[in-house]
Chains A and B, each alone.
Chain A
């Protein structure tokens, strides 16, 4: 299992995932080889799932981001699976989440502008199966987005 040293490494690593092995080791106060062995062990046992580039969709011209909160028709037992399988095939969907609560599924949809969004919404979203209700939250700004865990 993880010890305090592993947690210390993760704290520095998640604060700056661009660190080299040597930089990370220096911050955590460990020898590079020791530190990297621990990182590799955490990758092997799945604690670290990946180190990914964050894409700024706005820089690519996607000015609109909408969070669609969707309730599904739960009388159909296949509703979740069929809805999600179809939602994956919509190219403008970047995130799919399922919930326990008032909302069943949430989709993050990006579009170049409002006209483009309207087109996606009518042609691709409303045609998804088993929707009983949709609410939209229009994204204004990201105030905090580091997604770090309080280790």
Chain B
């Protein structure tokens, strides 16, 4: 397991808020030199702790008024049907995330749409026609927040 110290945790917290900060600016916040800060960030990247970046956009300002989480149960199971389902679902542009889960559903999807009518179109034309799709449950997202978790 990877050991992090307080400085690593502070750097991760900072980068999770704003990944565009320079090593110099970050170094001043954690009281380290620019090269030392850079080395720590490179180490965290090398270890895979920093897996990449995400651009967070205001979906409503971009015209996507609705985000819905779908719980999907497959009607038929078997390796082929999982592969087929995953390939087809990942190709739908309105589907933002696909998670394979264990429990009362097999997959959890995050879907965006312009409005409820548009969501209905995506659901009928794209989701309900996926290979092997069975039971579907929809929950409309009202609010969401990401918290620092164990870094906090």
Interface set of A (CB-CB < 8 Å, partner B): 2, 10, 13-14, 17-18, 45-57, 59-62, 67, 88, 91-103, 106, 110, 135-151
Contact = CB atoms under 8 A, between A and B. Distances in A.
Interface in B1-48: 1-2, 4, 12, 15-20, 47-48
Contacts of A52: 15-19, 53-54, 56
A150 B112 contact: yes
B139 to A, nearest CB: 3
A50 B90 contact: no
Given A61-B2, A99-B69, A143 B101 contact: no
A99 B110 CA distance: 12
Given A97-B143, A150-B93, A53 B47 contact: no
Nearest to B139: A101
Given A98-B142, A101-B139, A144-B97, A91 B150 contact: yes
Interface residues on B, range: 35 or more
A45 B64 CA distance: 16
B19 A139 contact: no
Contacts of A137: 71, 101-105, 108
Contacts of A99: 69, 139-142
A88 B147 contact: yes
B53 A53 contact: yes
Contacts of B137: 101-102
A54 B57 contact: no
B51 A150 contact: no
Contacts of B16: 52-55
14 contacts: A10-B62, A48-B55, A49-B57, A52-B15, A59-B48, A60-B4, A91-B150, A95-B146, A95-B147, A98-B143, A100-B140, A101-B137, A140-B101, A149-B59
